[in-house]
Chains A and B, each alone.
Chain A
Amino acid sequence: MGKLLQLASHPVELKAALKLKFCRTPLFSIYDQSTSPYLLRCFELLNLTSRSFAAVIRELHPELRNVITLFYLILRALDTIEDDMSIEHDLKIDLLRHFHEKLLLNKWSFNGNAPDMKDRAVLTDFESILIEFHKLKPEYQDVIKEITDKMGNGMADYILDENYNLNGLQTVHDYDVYCHYVAGLVGDGLTRLIIIAKFANKSLYSNEQLFESMGLFLQKTNIIRDYNEDLADGRSFWPKEIWSQYVPQLKDFMKPEKEQLGLECINHLVLNALDHVIDVLTYLASVHEQSTFQFCAIPQVMAIATLALVFNNRDVLHGNVKIRKGTTCYLILNSRTLRGCVDIFDYYLRDIKSKLAVQDPNYLKLNIQISKIEQFMEEMYQDKLPPNVKPNETPIYLKVQERSKYDDELVPTQQEEEYKFNMVLSIIVSVLLGFYYIYTLHTA
């Protein structure tokens, strides 16, 4: 009921939710090809582990859908081993370091997770994953194996790193390296998969910073948002180099008298995360295939919306904050074009700017960073030039021109959805008016 009320008080989001539910036809469907029972089980597992992610993966182009489903499930399995505190230390290290070798086996599964471990089904049912994994093109298998190897070993290194376990992440560099292992590597793998599928230009992989930023922007946003939850679980990923500028102990931010400093620290971390936005927009401009574009864009627009929500928000220090369901619907609908994504980023950057107080120690730095992104966005489109001035054909401008052709192909689809929505709406309204008319006739 609360959710409904929330929707009703945000009509734009209500419209988005209705449109998403009733008017939009998915690009691709999992039922459009013959599916083996093992694959169906994989989709089931995907649904179990991540509802929101599953919805996006299900609509991917058939060339990549199974690949990314399996990539996701394998990393999820790795995560489920790492997260489980009941697994004996040496066994855990051994499993993490050699997990990629399990991918060579025809049969393997693991039943050693604690019974209450969420997602343990991924490991008990790992055989279904292996069967489908071996059906993938060898190039895809190689990428997934390599990333699994790197990530598993990274996880093991962190478990063995005493300094990290005792004191958490120290420098901003440590923070970046940690995010690289948990998210940058995923960006690395996905980019290679997308290129093998020929859904983006090869050059996308040549600039490491771009795909690294795709992962880091998401990860850093989650880390900022999860301050309270992580501390409650006895861990934290905020880098000491930043928070120690405000308080001697990270948990001090929960004290009422330190709340203001907590806000300044959040804003400082947001400033750090905004460093990745230009790379993210550049990356998105390079992806051509539509379902892949959406797959890449949705998490990024959700991240900027979340970043705007956590910015200068004291609730982050005391509990969980989450963007509204309706906002998510709006973001999913409107991030299908690059232009839409840029508009979303622009909107939330202004939102951040409007919440920024002059007293904030990073007032000018945040303003300069946001300005820099705005300047970049204007360079992407250059649609505010006086007559007789030609656009500057910079690499990003040309990339955007190329991507805009794919954006244009989406226009009829979006118009059709709008038409359908308006049709249904007017039918409903006329029916209601009809009833009202009959009602007044009767009472008159």
Chain B
Amino acid sequence: MSNIDSVLIIGGSGFLGLHLIQQFYDINPKPDIHIFDVRDLPEKLSKQFTFNVDDVKFHKGDLTSPNDMEDAIKESKANVVVHCASPMHGQNPNIYDIVNVKGTRNVIDMCKKCDVNVLVYTSSAGVIFNGQDVHNADETWPIPEVPMDAYNETKAIAEEMVLKANDPESGFYTVALRPAGIFGPGDRQLVPGLRQVAKLGQSKFQIGDNNNLFDWTYAGNVADAHVLAAHKLLDPKARSEVSGETFFITNDTPTYFWALARTVWKADGHVAKHVIVLKRPVAICAGYLSEWVSKLLGKEPGLTPFRVKIVCAYRYHNISKAKKLLGYTPRVGIEEGINKTLAWMDEDL
């Protein structure tokens, strides 16, 4: 098996990026690690990370700029490129198009131009989600014709480009990983969002009947899957089964949405004595109302019909394929993951 000599992590300063640095850092023999990002690496790292920032080479650049990208790839002499750059949810659709579609196009083109062997793309489990329940979905589930939103639509387009670029004849191997519900130290959405809800005293509300299973995935495990995928694509014996494929990546322990939320709240000392259950249809009506009122007041609505549908939907995935072909198993369990995340938040970085 060939080693990972040098890896370039595009989007390496972000939430998942830091976890990727850590996982690549822990490989023996340790590869050269290069970061490409428009943002600098954080000045202070969480205690949850043990890598030495000085061992990581940083390349500042614009994802959509061919020159920036080419320079970084050439300087890094990377045989493996990991592309995990992606904007947060809830932004202008334009940004998604620029980063997810144009950016990914640029990454693929420059990888090919510079003879990179392996491209691992961080897609999203959301690509198959169209608002309908997702029960134990595997990779045979289709990408919906009508996408859920601009984020998922552009992720699906990018994923398809990456898979199409897979070209074993000229020695370029690609794979797309679809993590679901990433959380962990550095998380800006899931756990901090829940903490915010508790601070506002809203942890006593439950939307829906709490029978819907939901995947949460610890960021370190997602990063692990990237390392495994890179190794498989470099391995002449294993690569044919993996290249050009998609893989769902989860913690393999789907759980009821509110059970996870309450576990976070409990760890923070918020235990609601009485839970007020809003049934789904009631909550959707309330969502429309809240949206309307917020519009009048010019404020950001807390409850929206979209959010209600998200927390009431079944959304969990079957990761048999990743287990079998990548040899993936989640190393950090949900409970441990939540504790690590809260420990990070308490560092107040």
Residues of chain A contacted by B211 (CB below 8 angstroms):
350
Partner among B255, B266, B271, B272 whose Cβ is within 8 Å of the Cβ of A371? B255
Taken together as a complex, chains A and B put the C-alpha atoms of A379 and B252 apart, in Å, by 14
Q: Is A388 an interface residue (CB 8 A)?
A: yes
Taken together as a complex, chains A and B put the C-alpha atoms of A371 and B335 apart, in Å, by 15
Interface centre among B141, B142, B259 (most CB of A within 10 A): B259
Contact A371 B256 (CB under 8 A): yes
Contact A359 B271 (CB under 8 A): yes
Contact A382 B136 (CB under 8 A): yes
Q: Measured between C-beta atoms, what is the minimum distance from A277 to chain B in Å? A: 16
Residues of chain B contacted by A359 (CB below 8 angstroms):
266, 271
A363-374 CB mask vs B (1 if < 8 Å, else 0) is 111011001101
Taken together as a complex, chains A and B put the C-alpha atoms of A217 and B213 apart, in Å, by 25
Contact A386 B213 (CB under 8 A): no
Taken together as a complex, chains A and B put the C-alpha atoms of A348 and B17 apart, in Å, by 43
Q: Assuming the A-B contacts A388-B142, A389-B140, are A367 and B255 also in contact, with contact meaning beta carbons closer than 8 angstroms in the complex?
A: yes
Q: Assuming the A-B contacts A358-B266, A375-B213, A385-B135, are A390 and B253 also in contact, with contact meaning beta carbons closer than 8 angstroms in the complex?
A: no
Contact B136 A364 (CB under 8 A): no
Q: Is A378 an interface residue (CB 8 A)?
A: yes
Contact A364 B135 (CB under 8 A): no
Interface centre among A359, A384, A386 (most CB of B within 10 A): A386
Q: Is A52 an interface residue (CB 8 A)?
A: no
Taken together as a complex, chains A and B put the C-alpha atoms of A389 and B141 apart, in Å, by 6
Q: Is A201 an interface residue (CB 8 A)?
A: no
Contact A386 B132 (CB under 8 A): yes
Contact A358 B135 (CB under 8 A): no
Q: Is B121 an interface residue (CB 8 A)?
A: no
Q: Assuming the A-B contacts A358-B266, A384-B135, are A389 and B142 also in contact, with contact meaning beta carbons closer than 8 angstroms in the complex?
A: yes
Total contacting residues, chain B, CB less than 8 A: 29
Q: Is B138 an interface residue (CB 8 A)?
A: yes
Q: Is A392 an interface residue (CB 8 A)?
A: yes
Residues of chain B contacted by A358 (CB below 8 angstroms):
262-263, 265-266, 271-272
Taken together as a complex, chains A and B put the C-alpha atoms of A251 and B320 apart, in Å, by 46
Taken together as a complex, chains A and B put the C-alpha atoms of A371 and B253 apart, in Å, by 8
Residues of chain B contacted by A363 (CB below 8 angstroms):
259, 262-263, 266
A370 and chain B: residue at smallest CB distance: B256
Q: Measured between C-beta atoms, what is the minimum distance from B67 to chain A in Å? A: 43
Q: Is B334 an interface residue (CB 8 A)?
A: yes
Q: Measured between C-beta atoms, what is the minimum distance from A279 to chain B in Å? A: 18
Q: Is B106 an interface residue (CB 8 A)?
A: no
Q: Measured between C-beta atoms, what is the minimum distance from A371 to chain B in Å? A: 5
Q: Measured between C-beta atoms, what is the minimum distance from A182 to chain B in Å? A: 32
Q: Measured between C-beta atoms, what is the minimum distance from A368 to chain B in Å? A: 5
Give the residues from 266 to 280 in chain B that come closer than 8 angstroms, CB to CB, to chain A. Answer: 266, 271-272
Taken together as a complex, chains A and B put the C-alpha atoms of A386 and B266 apart, in Å, by 36
Q: Is A288 an interface residue (CB 8 A)?
A: no
Residues of chain B contacted by A368 (CB below 8 angstroms):
253, 255, 334
Interface centre among A353, A359, A364, A382 (most CB of B within 10 A): A364
Q: Measured between C-beta atoms, what is the minimum distance from B333 to chain A in Å? A: 9
Partner among A384, A388, A390 whose Cβ is within 8 Å of the Cβ of B133? A384
Which residues of B are in contact with A by a Cβ distance under 8 Å? 132-133, 135-136, 138, 140-142, 210-211, 213, 253-256, 259-260, 262-263, 265-266, 271-272, 314, 316, 318, 320, 334-335
Q: Could you list some 26 contacts between A and B, CB below 8 A?
A: A358-B262, A358-B271, A358-B272, A363-B262, A363-B263, A364-B259, A364-B260, A364-B335, A365-B335, A368-B255, A368-B334, A374-B213, A375-B136, A375-B254, A378-B135, A379-B136, A384-B135, A384-B314, A386-B132, A386-B142, A389-B141, A389-B142, A390-B140, A392-B138, A392-B140, A392-B318
- Not counting A371-B253, A371-B255, A375-B316, a sample of 7 additional A-B residue pairs whose C-beta atoms are within 8 angstroms of each other reads A364-B260, A367-B255, A367-B256, A368-B334, A384-B314, A389-B141, A389-B142
